[in-house]
Amino acid sequence: MKMKIIVCIKQIRHTYAQTGMDHTRHFLAPEDDVYRINPHDEAALELALRVKDTRGDTEIILLTLGPLIADEALRRCLAMGADYLYRIDCNRSPDPWEKSLALTRTIKDLKADLILCGKESIDTQNGQVGAMVAHDLKMPFISAIIEIAASRDKLQADVKRSCGRGVREEIRCRLPAVFSVDSSGIEPRIPTYEARVKAGAYPIKTIPYASNGAGRKVISGKRYPPRPRPKRAPAPDSRLDAYHRIQHLFTGSRVEKKGEMLTGTTVSQVEGIVSFLLEHGFVKTQHEEK
Amino acid sequence: MITAFDILLIGAVILIMLAGFAGRRMLWRKGREENRSGDLTGLAGYLIGQQLILKRRFAGVAHLFLFWGIVVFLLVIILAQFPMIIPATAARILSLGLEILGAVMLAGIIFFIIRRRQFKYISADKISPQKVLFPVIILMIILITGFLAAGTRMSIVPSDKLWVSPIGWGLSNILPGSPLLMQIMIRCHFLAVLLFLACLPFTFMRHLAAGTLNVYYRRKGNRGKLRVADLDDGYVGAKTVDDFTWKQLLDVEACVSCGRCAENCPALISGKPLSPRKIVQDISWQMEQARSNGSWLADAISGEEIWSCTTCMACVEHCPIFVEPLDKIIDIRRYQVLGCGNLPPEAKPMIRDLEIFGDVQGKGVAHRTDWALGREVSLLSDRNRATDILLWIGCSGAFHPRYRETSRSMVKLLHAGGVDFAILGKHELCCGDPARRLGEERLFQELARKNIKRFNQYRFQKIVTLCPHCFNTLKNEYPDFGGEYQVMHATEFVLDLIKAKRITPKYPVGQALSVHDPCYLGRINQIFEPVRDVCRAVPGIEIRELPRNREYGFCCGGGGGRMWLHESLGRHINQIRAEEAAKAGAELVGTACPYCLTMLEDGIAALEREKPPKVMDVVEIVASSLGAEF
DSSP line for B534-556: HHHHSTT-EE---SS-GGGPPP-
Which residues from chain A sit within 8 angstroms of residue B376, using beta carbons? none
DSSP code per residue over B270-284 = TT-S--HHHHHHHHH
Q: What is the pLDDT of residue B498?
A: 95
Residue of B356, B368, B444 for testing the chain A interface, max A β-carbons within 10 Å: B356
Residue of B373, B378, B442 for testing the chain A interface, max A β-carbons within 10 Å: B442
Going from the C-alpha of B10 to that of each of B4, B74, B138, the distances in angstroms are 10, 14, 17
Decide if A184 touches B, using CB distance below 8 A: no
Decide if domain A3-207 falls under CATH 3.30.70.360. Answer: no
Query: What's the Rg (C-alpha) of chain A?
Result: 22
Decide if A210 touches B, using CB distance below 8 A: no
Residue of B239, B243, B338 for testing the chain A interface, max A β-carbons within 10 Å: B338
Look at residue A41 and tell me whether its pLDDT is greater than 90. Answer: yes
Residue of B426, B427, B429, B444 for testing the chain A interface, max A β-carbons within 10 Å: B426
CB B218 within 8 A of CB B42: yes
Look at residue A49 and tell me whether its pLDDT is greater than 60. Answer: yes
Q: Do A17 and B231 touch (CB under 8 A)?
A: no
Q: Do B426 and A31 touch (CB under 8 A)?
A: yes
CB B615 within 8 A of CB B509: no
Q: Count Cβ atoms within 10 A of the Cβ of residue B98 and give its class: 0-12 exposed, 13-18 middle, 19 or more buried.
A: middle
Of A32, A191, A196, the CB nearest to B366: A32
Q: Do B357 and A36 touch (CB under 8 A)?
A: no
Nearest CA in chain B to A193: B338
Of A36, A187, A234, the CB nearest to B356: A36
CB A153 within 8 A of CB A32: no
DSSP code per residue over A14-74 = EE-----S-GGGTT--GGGEEEEE-HHHHHHHHHHHHHHHHH--EEEEEEEESS-S-HHHH
Q: Do B345 and A34 touch (CB under 8 A)?
A: no
| Chain A nearest C-alpha distance from B340 (Å) | 6
| Chain B nearest C-alpha distance from A16 (Å) | 8
Residue B53, SS3? helix
| Chain B nearest C-alpha distance from A236 (Å) | 9
| B582-604 b/e (C-beta count within 10 Å ≥ 16 → b) | bebebebbbbbbbbbbbbbbbbb
Decide if A270 touches B, using CB distance below 8 A: no
Q: Name the packing angle between helices B401-416 and B490-499 (round to 10°).
A: 30
Tell me which of B167 and A46 has the higher pLDDT. Answer: A46
Tell which A residues from 71 to 130 touch B, by Cβ distance under 8 Å.
76
Among residues A88, A174, A103, A98, the alpha carbon closest in space to that of A133 is found at: A103
Nearest CA in chain A to B339: A192
* CA–CA dist B491, B468 (Å, integer): 10
CB A221 within 8 A of CB A282: yes
Q: Are strands A84-88 and B487-489 parallel, antiparallel or unpaired?
A: unpaired
Nearest CA in chain A to B237: A193
Nearest CA in chain B to A188: B348
Write the single-letter amino acid at B43: L
Among residues A9, A59, A14, the alpha carbon closest in space to that of A36 is found at: A14
Of A16, A190, A194, the CB nearest to B366: A16
DSSP code per residue over B320-365 = TT---HHHHHHHHHHIIIIIT----TTHHHHHHHHHHHSSTTS--G
Q: Do B341 and A235 touch (CB under 8 A)?
A: no
Write the single-letter amino acid at B24: R
Among residues A263, A220, A73, the alpha carbon closest in space to that of A132 is found at: A220
| Chain A nearest C-alpha distance from B477 (Å) | 21
Residue A4, SS3? strand
ipTM of the complex: 0.85
pTM, entire model: 0.87
Stretch (H or E) spanning A171? strand A168-174
Q: Do B351 and A190 touch (CB under 8 A)?
A: yes
CB A160 within 8 A of CB A168: yes
- Number of residues in chain A: 290
Residues of B with CB under 8 A from a CB of A: 231, 236, 337-343, 345, 348-349, 351-352, 355-357, 364-367, 373-374, 426, 442
Of B338, B367, B374, the CB nearest to A17: B367
Q: Do A31 and B364 touch (CB under 8 A)?
A: yes
Residue A6, SS3? strand
Q: Do A196 and B442 touch (CB under 8 A)?
A: yes
Q: What is the pLDDT of residue B80?
A: 81
Which residues from chain A sit within 8 angstroms of residue B236, using beta carbons? 192-194
Write the single-letter amino acid at B214: N
Which residues from chain A sit within 8 angstroms of residue B342, using beta carbons? 190
Query: For chain A, which residues make up each domain, given as ranges?
Result: 3-207
Q: Do A190 and B337 touch (CB under 8 A)?
A: yes
Decide if A32 touches B, using CB distance below 8 A: yes
Q: What is the pLDDT of residue A177?
A: 94
Q: Do A193 and B338 touch (CB under 8 A)?
A: yes
Q: Do A235 and B345 touch (CB under 8 A)?
A: no
| Chain A nearest C-alpha distance from B445 (Å) | 13
Residue A249, SS3? helix
CB B368 within 8 A of CB B425: yes
* CA–CA dist B397, A277 (Å, integer): 49
Residue B277 neighbours by CB under 8 Å, 6+ apart: B125, B127, B255, B257, B259, B261, B262, B325
CB A148 within 8 A of CB A173: no
Of A34, A190, A192, the CB nearest to B357: A34
Query: What percentage of chain B's residues is helix, strand, coil (to nearest 5)?
Result: 60, 5, 35
Of A76, A189, A193, the CB nearest to B339: A193
* CA–CA dist A175, A180 (Å, integer): 14
Residue B354 neighbours by CB under 8 Å, 6+ apart: B360, B430, B432, B434, B435, B440, B443, B447
Residue B619, SS3? helix
Which residues from chain A sit within 8 angstroms of residue B345, using beta carbons? 187
Residue B629, SS3? coil
Residue A115 neighbours by CB under 8 Å, 6+ apart: A5, A6, A7, A8, A107, A133, A134, A137, A139, A176, A177, A178, A179
Q: What are phi and psi of A44, to 5 degrees?
A: -60, -40
Query: What's the Rg (C-alpha) of chain B?
Result: 29
Which residues from chain B sit within 8 angstroms of residue A193, using beta carbons? 231, 236, 338-339, 442
Q: Please list the residues that pair with A174 across neighbouring strands.
A: A156
Q: What is the pLDDT of residue B155?
A: 83
Of A29, A36, A189, the CB nearest to B341: A189
Chain center to CA of B195:
34
* CA–CA dist B322, B217 (Å, integer): 9
Decide if A196 touches B, using CB distance below 8 A: yes
Decide if A34 touches B, using CB distance below 8 A: yes
Q: Do A193 and B426 touch (CB under 8 A)?
A: no
Q: What is the pLDDT of residue B313?
A: 92
Which residues from chain A sit within 8 angstroms of residue B231, using beta carbons? 193
Q: Do A36 and B351 touch (CB under 8 A)?
A: no
Q: Do A193 and B231 touch (CB under 8 A)?
A: yes
- The domains located in chain B, with CATH, are 4-118+133-202 (no CATH), 233-238+258-339 (no CATH), 355-497 (3.40.50.1860), 512-626 (3.40.50)
* CA–CA dist B24, A34 (Å, integer): 54
Going from the C-alpha of B173 to that of each of A108, B86, B156, B168, B170, the distances in angstroms are 106, 29, 11, 9, 6
| Chain B nearest C-alpha distance from A45 (Å) | 16
Decide if A192 touches B, using CB distance below 8 A: yes
Going from the C-alpha of B95 to that of each of B109, B146, B166, the distances in angstroms are 21, 13, 10
Q: How many CA atoms lie within 13 A of B38 on its CB side?
A: 8
Q: Which residues of chain B have pLDDT under 50?
A: 123-124
Count CB-CB contacts under 10 A for residue B560. Answer: 30
The distance in angstroms from the start CA to the end CA of chain A is: 47
Among residues B392, B354, B356, B368, the alpha carbon closest in space to that of B474 is found at: B392
A vs B: CB pairs below 8 A: 51
- For A198-256, how does the pLDDT look when each residue is reduced to its tens digit (9 = 90+)? 999 999 999 887 665 555 566 666 766 666 555 555 566 777 788 877 877 776 654 55
Compute the C-alpha angle B91/B92/B94, nearest 5°.
Answer: 65
